[in-house]
Structure 1
């Protein structure tokens, strides 16, 4: 995630406020901090949606094996680079592809990652994925100051999207195969 210069200024000010909570804070600075928190929440939500879509895409390619082997291995490599933990279905699919150099290399890599994951679980160190981020409402005079505090926390609700979610075909255009260069024939 990258921040603009303005967002970095707001983030720096929010950190200064957190380190010195007794210092006076202007209302516009509070609103800037809340807007930045909303933007970060949107980015996290979109990242979760993208991850869900990519994992579903990976499953579709895996189900279409062996005909989709090149696409599946490419998607699996991308998923592994993003921290994906290979599942038993992936290992079974790669066993069917171990006749290819890419399939064999991916199988070794996935077996190693799966073994590390099992060892970590057996040792009691589950591979912890980051949990959902809590809302930033602790600023003095922020949104929480305007809202009454309930005795019990309200039940969790799904966030209401501000805009309709784009379809995967709108976000990821179909892949086009590269066009081979035309053959040049020598006149002679």
Structure 2
């Protein structure tokens, strides 16, 4: 998470006040509340993005084998971010293990899945995490710009949620990127003779 210069100033002041409690001017209280709101919004946005990426990963997995490269890239990013591979992921990787990238990823995912199962059997709770966002967060709303109400983005459509009237369903990768067709040879080349 990145903070602007104004947000860092407010954070430093809030930490100093926490160490040495003193009465605060109203402006400092408002600055702290705005910073807390900006952090809450960033955390909530990260959760929405993780949910979207998990749904995206599921869509790519369902569109296999046509979406092999996209699926492997998303799964690698997810595993690197702490994602606990599901049985569906392991089954998909087993089917794709002819590809070197898929075979290496399968070996890594099997180790992670085995570790997760052992931890559950030992009685420890395993935190299932979602993939982290692939893009970097460059700036957060806050500081002086936090005075206005931030615009709330729409939540992504989850696979199990029914579509609202007039809402289009999310296309699968195979629908957006159909397989390439070979061009038909010119009519003169078809005739043998």
User: Which range, TM-score by smaller chain?
Assistant: 0.5 to 0.7
Gapped regions of structure 2 (runs ≥ 5): 130-148, 157-172, 178-193
Q: Distance in 1 between matches of 2:25 and 2:66?
A: 61
Q: Distance in 2 between matches of 1:96 and 1:128?
A: 27
Partner of 1:48: 47
Partner of 1:85: 84
Report deviation, 1:80: 1.1
Q: Distance in 2 between matches of 1:114 and 1:85?
A: 7
Partner of 2:166: none
Q: Distance in 2 between matches of 1:70 and 1:56?
A: 17
Tell whether the 8 Å contact from 2:94 to 2:106 is kept in structure 1 after alignment. Answer: yes
Tell whether the 8 Å contact from 2:119 to 2:125 is kept in structure 1 after alignment. Answer: yes
Q: Residue deviations 1:115-140, cap 9 Å, x none?
A: 1112222223222369xxxxxxxxxx
Return the TM-score normalized by structure 2. 0.66
Task: Indicate whether 1:15 and 2:27 are aligned.
Answer: no
Task: Indicate whether 1:24 and 2:23 are aligned.
Answer: yes
Partner of 1:110: 109
Q: Residue deviations 1:145-166, cap 9 Å, x none?
A: xxxxxxxxxxxxxxxx952425
Q: Which has the higher contact order (CA 8 A, sep 6+)?
A: 2
- SS of equivalent residue, structure 2 residue 66: coil
Return the TM-score normalized by structure 1. 0.68
Query: 1:68-147 alignment to 2 at 5 Å?
Result: 68-128=67-127
Gapped regions of structure 1 (runs ≥ 5): 131-160, 169-173, 177-188
Q: Distance in 1 between matches of 2:91 and 2:127?
A: 25
- SS of equivalent residue, structure 1 residue 84: coil
Partner of 1:165: 153
Q: Distance in 2 between matches of 1:129 and 1:118?
A: 12
Q: Distance in 2 between matches of 1:63 and 1:18?
A: 50
CA RMSD of aligned residues (A): 2.4
